[in-house]
A and B are shown apart, each in its own frame.
Chain A
């Protein structure tokens, strides 16, 4: 470690630091070298500042979204209340047609022998809507946010830098999927290129309802045989298709998953396929 580095890292005692400062005043070459180091330090400071700014920006976007959401909810509620009070005849709710009341049949014999037994015409009841679960229900039934203890940054014993790989993992593990989805764009390019980070980003997107975008990531990742969550990407890709309404596509993928003996989602895929029939 050279003298300038020691000086910048604050590792010199008072006397040594004084000597360095004296040399800086008198030795031009030494001062030029020192200034080059100062520029590197400046770059680090600027980079740190930008990272913090990105973090605040992401927080601000989250706040704005929440505010917008609250505003929209308020507007919808307000409009609903207004309709309720201003609608001329109140709100008409269309009820299903009532079934005809069937005659009560007594267990006793007919009292008059000359009367014909009462013929009850069995009227067929109107067909009730099918009881098959709807697409959204099936998605909600089978979708569980992905988690893996091995990914939890907190078990590593340190508090990582938020825009690092570990920081992103920790944010995802904390369950704040919205924040994780927002933070992805602010990560360094190298981290964004990491398959695990992309996988978790897709998970966060799916959780936030952006199934189409999530699917593009899952599709890219499921083909990577060396990626440790490739099979998980396959399953969640099928769920994305289900969410977007592509039942045929979902069935094809689920069939493929169900046919692999070792697939971790084999059982779920079989059950979901049955439910989709």
Chain B
């Protein structure tokens, strides 16, 4: 009994939105700032760190609340981390009033609610869930249904084209950054290459869709 009370108290501190002691809040803000900076510097590497650092805690937390198989939980956790990285990269999220872990759990929580709407939940309600549900998490990006069907087209592009396009449109790097990272001659060359690659992909997509229709 004492053990479960202690666990409850710990989780309440972790997830509570009640005003925290000044020192604790400053710590969280500093940590969040570091996470944001690392995502903006190299989102994919930061995603890997966030994923690994919080995965086990998430699995424990989620298994106690939802009856979802481990593979699906893994999938949900990966998507939550990716979504958060994308939100920071696109500046949809520029600061948090809670820890990054709480935010990640909130994204995952929504996914799980959506996922296991028809499944049995082990624990209903409770302050933690209520607080997570109250967080204003931006909506996830939606892709056109045929996009996953056309992903093979990306493999038909040259590796450099793929890298350029992903850096610009997924990692949202600026032209200057891409030029430096890929050691290209100048920004005009970078833009021209990007434009050529995008145009090629668009034509390939058009041809593919015409064939399908």
Contact = CB atoms under 8 A, between A and B. Distances in A.
Interface string B133-147: 000000001011001
Interface of B is mostly: helix
A227 interface: no
A157 interface: yes
Contact of B191 (A9, A37, A51, A191): A9
Interface in A4-45: 5-6, 8-11, 36-37, 39-45
B151 A48 contact: no
A165 B159 contact: yes
B51 interface: yes
Nearest to A190: B155
B213 interface: no
Taking each of B79, B143, B175, which has the highest tally of chain A beta carbons within 10 Å of its own beta carbon? B143
Nearest to B43: A52
Contacts of B195: 1-2, 5-6, 9
B14 interface: no
B193 to A, nearest CB: 11
A246 interface: no
Interface size classification for chain B: 35 or more
Interface size classification for chain A: 35 or more
B82 interface: yes
A173 B171 CA distance: 25
Given A5-B195, A43-B154, A56-B82, 18 more contacts: A9-B168, A9-B191, A40-B202, A42-B147, A43-B205, A45-B170, A46-B147, A48-B171, A49-B86, A52-B44, A56-B78, A56-B81, A63-B56, A161-B163, A161-B166, A164-B159, A164-B163, A191-B159
B171 A47 contact: no
7 contacts: A44-B154, A44-B166, A48-B171, A55-B48, A56-B78, A157-B183, A160-B163
Given A5-B198, A42-B144, A59-B51, A47 B183 contact: no
B166 A60 contact: no
A116 B118 CA distance: 102
Interface in B159-197: 159, 162-163, 165-166, 168-171, 175, 181-183, 191-192, 194-195
Nearest to A60: B74
B21 interface: no
Given A1-B192, A63-B55, A165-B159, A39 B144 contact: yes
Nearest to B147: A46
B138 to A, nearest CB: 15
Interface string B58-82: 0000000000000000100011011
A57 interface: yes
Contacts of B86: 49
Contact of A43 (B182, B183, B201): B201
B158 to A, nearest CB: 10
B206 interface: yes
A158 interface: yes
B150 interface: yes
A59 B48 contact: yes
Contact of A39 (B56, B147, B166, B170): B147
Contact of A48 (B166, B181, B202, B205): B166
A60 B51 contact: yes
B199 interface: yes
A274 B126 CA distance: 72
A48 B170 contact: yes
Given A53-B82, A59-B52, A45 B154 contact: no
